[in-house]
């Protein structure tokens, strides 16, 4: 696909699509609760639609009228044998959280996904689940999908220190802990997104969170709820950065989720001198409006406990750093190497093709700002966030073609991304 180039300004307002992490979980909790759950502003993108399809395949009545999704919950152990392999597509959140949920059911099941999923590490979930007594294994004695999970496990509560900072691992173990007798204690390496903990409470469960220590008792019941999904800050991030680096711009992003565990990008933009304002904050729903304007930016260092608060935004933050004065250093982000693709290598290789000065390191990137970007042929590697980052980069290219291979990956999290960008380019 030929990308849009040479944007002279970006102006206007966007209501960003629903949060991907919360959309997945709303289907999961709605299915495991008793009674009816309704979901509005659900993200109808490939990843979340795969989660929805899978719960339907396990016998959960789910109806989508185009505005509201209605789920007739089956209770914690009420899922039915799908009688076939479940395919999560490209979604790491789906496969990992499902492992915890399926550990507590009465049937055997196999989980698989696309070529990217078949290369992603699963021991981080399978090993602690095995410790809890779950019969689960990867393909041919590897840790990779297809993953087979046996039913009727006798699940034991554990105390477990997570060796990686991962909300997916934490969430899978919290789901499994619901089926155990007694109290499970999880100790996080760093604080990660807390949507599972928040939803356990929202659906009437009990969970104790004391900084990085989480305690949960098994044998709880959930009750159906009305879920309103806020906009995804990880999708808003592309337009936050675009508004900052394209001259003469002012971009308004409405109804963006502002969970403290997700707002690292706002802190980084501020530390780089970017003009960013948060208004109309709705404390109860943890959401608000973000306004950005074209800015003079300076380099920064991004490391330590902020990393999980912006892990998915690092590719677009790397682009932001190419437009800042000075050298930006990103470290402690080795998790980027095991995302939908190796995002450290992908960001370095693809932005270099467009003229950026950027070096990959083992656990991050070193970005020398101030280079002008030029035309070139790039690829998303089938990774939605790499694809969208490259489109924002192309807006800075003054002449020639920027051609993106595998642009269709964008539909994994933001099917209307190109249309929303168009709307900002046409408004004056
Ligand atoms: C997610 C957690 C993060 C994030 C992913 C979504 C979630 O992964 O990168 O896009 O919904 O829990 P990790 O928890 O593996 O870091």
Closest CA to 220 of 155, 168, 175: 175
Question: How far apart are the C-alpha atoms of 352 and 365, rounded to whole Å?
Answer: 12
Question: What integer pLDDT is reported at residue 157 of this predicted model?
Answer: 98
Choosing from 46, 47, 114, 312, the catalytic residue is 312
Closest CA to 324 of 346, 344, 353, 300: 300
Question: What integer pLDDT is reported at residue 182 of this predicted model?
Answer: 96
Distance 170 CA to ligand 1 centre (A): 10
Closest CA to 89 of 120, 57, 114: 114
Task: Name the residue of 19, 21, 28 whose CB sits within 8 Å of the most ligand 1 atoms, as the mutation to test its pocket.
Answer: 21
Give the model confidence (pLDDT) of 308-365 as tens digits: 999 999 999 999 999 999 999 999 999 999 999 999 999 999 999 999 999 999 999 9
Question: What integer pLDDT is reported at residue 371 of this predicted model?
Answer: 94
Question: What integer pLDDT is reported at residue 336 of this predicted model?
Answer: 98
pLDDT at 427 over 80: no
Ordered strands of the 275-282 beta sheet = 11-15, 250-257, 287-293, 275-282
Give the model confidence (pLDDT) of 260-283 as tens digits: 999 999 999 999 999 999 999 999
Give the model confidence (pLDDT) of 96-111 as tens digits: 999 999 999 999 999 9
Give the model confidence (pLDDT) of 381-390 as tens digits: 999 999 999 9
235 Cβ inside 6 Å of ligand 1: no
Closest CA to 413 of 105, 47, 99: 47
Element (H, E) at 368: strand 364-368
244-272 average pLDDT score? 98
pLDDT at 241 over 60: yes
Question: What integer pLDDT is reported at residue 149 of this predicted model?
Answer: 98
3's tokens:
């990308």
Distance 400 CA to ligand 1 centre (A): 36
Mean pLDDT of the chain: 97
pTM summary value:
0.98
Question: What integer pLDDT is reported at residue 347 of this predicted model?
Answer: 98
Question: What integer pLDDT is reported at residue 212 of this predicted model?
Answer: 98
Question: What integer pLDDT is reported at residue 426 of this predicted model?
Answer: 74
Instruction: Identify the sign of the CA torsion 298, 299, 304, 306.
Output: positive
Question: How far apart are the C-alpha atoms of 174 and 196, rounded to whole Å?
Answer: 8
Question: What integer pLDDT is reported at residue 428 of this predicted model?
Answer: 55
Question: How far apart are the C-alpha atoms of 320 and 237, rounded to whole Å?
Answer: 11
pLDDT at 113 over 90: yes
335 Cβ inside 6 Å of ligand 1: yes
Atom of ligand 1 nearest to the CA of 166: 14
293-313 average pLDDT score? 98
Question: What integer pLDDT is reported at residue 44 of this predicted model?
Answer: 98
Closest C-alpha residue for ligand 1 atom 4: 312
What percent of the chain shows pLDDT beyond 90?
99
Question: What integer pLDDT is reported at residue 83 of this predicted model?
Answer: 97
Q: Which domains does the chain have, with CATH numbers?
A: 11-18+230-426 (3.65.10.10), 20-228 (3.65.10.10)
Question: How far apart are the C-alpha atoms of 19 and 236, rounded to whole Å?
Answer: 10
Question: How far apart are the C-alpha atoms of 316 and 390, rounded to whole Å?
Answer: 8
Task: Name the residue of 88, 168, 189 whose CB sits within 8 Å of the most ligand 1 atoms, as the mutation to test its pocket.
Answer: 168
Give the model confidence (pLDDT) of 40-55 as tens digits: 999 999 999 999 999 9
């Amino acid at each position: 696909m030929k990308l849009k180039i040479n944007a002279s300004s970006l102006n206007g307002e966007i209501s960003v699509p629903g949060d991907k992490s919360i959309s997945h979980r709303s289907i999961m909790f709605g299915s495991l609760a008793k009674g009816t759950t309704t979901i509005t502003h659900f993200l109808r993108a490939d990843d979340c639609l795969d989660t929805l399809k899978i719960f339907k395949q396990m016998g959960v009545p789910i109806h989508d009228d185009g505005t509201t999704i209605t789920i007739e919950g089956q209770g914690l152990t009420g899922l039915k044998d799908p009688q076939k392999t479940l395919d999560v597509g490209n979604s790491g959140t789906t496969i990992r959280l499902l492992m915890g949920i399926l550990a507590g059911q009465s049937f055997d099941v196999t989980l698989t996904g696309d070529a990217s999923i078949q290369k992603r590490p699963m021991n981080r979930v399978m090993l602690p689940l095995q410790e809890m007594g779950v019969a689960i294994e990867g393909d041919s004695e590897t840790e990779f999908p297809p993953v087979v999970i046996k039913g009727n496990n006798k699940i034991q509560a554990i105390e477990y220190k997570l060796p990686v900072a991962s909300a997916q691992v934490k969430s899978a173990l919290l789901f499994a802990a619901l089926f155990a007798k007694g109290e499970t204690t999880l100790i996080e390496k760093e604080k990660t997104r807390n949507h599972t903990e928040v939803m356990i409470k929202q659906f009437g469960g009990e969970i104790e969170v004391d900084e990085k220590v989480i305690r949960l008792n098994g044998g709880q019941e959930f009750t159906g709820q009305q879920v309103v999904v806020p906009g995804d800050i990880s999708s808003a991030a592309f337009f936050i950065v675009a508004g900052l680096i394209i001259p003469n711009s002012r971009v308004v992003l409405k109804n963006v989720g502002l969970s403290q565990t997700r707002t690292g990008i706002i802190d980084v933009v501020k530390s780089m001198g970017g003009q960013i304002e948060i208004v109309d904050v709705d404390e109860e729903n943890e959401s608000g409006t973000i306004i950005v304007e074209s800015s003079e930016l300076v380099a920064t260092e991004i490391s330590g406990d902020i990393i999980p608060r912006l892990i998915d935004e690092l590719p677009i933050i790397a682009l932001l750093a190419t437009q800042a004065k000075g050298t930006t250093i990103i470290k402690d982000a080795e998790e980027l190497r095991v995302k939908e693709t190796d995002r450290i290598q992908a960001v370095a290789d693809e932005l270099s093709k467009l003229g950026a000065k950027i070096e990959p390191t083992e656990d991050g990137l070193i970005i020398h700002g101030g280079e002008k970007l030029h035309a070139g042929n790039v690829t998303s590697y089938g990774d939605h966030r790499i694809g969208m980052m490259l489109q924002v980069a192309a807006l800075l290219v003054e002449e020639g073609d920027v051609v993106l291979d595998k642009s269709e990956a964008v539909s994994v999290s933001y099917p209307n991304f190109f249309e929303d960008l168009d709307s900002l380019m046409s408004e004056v």
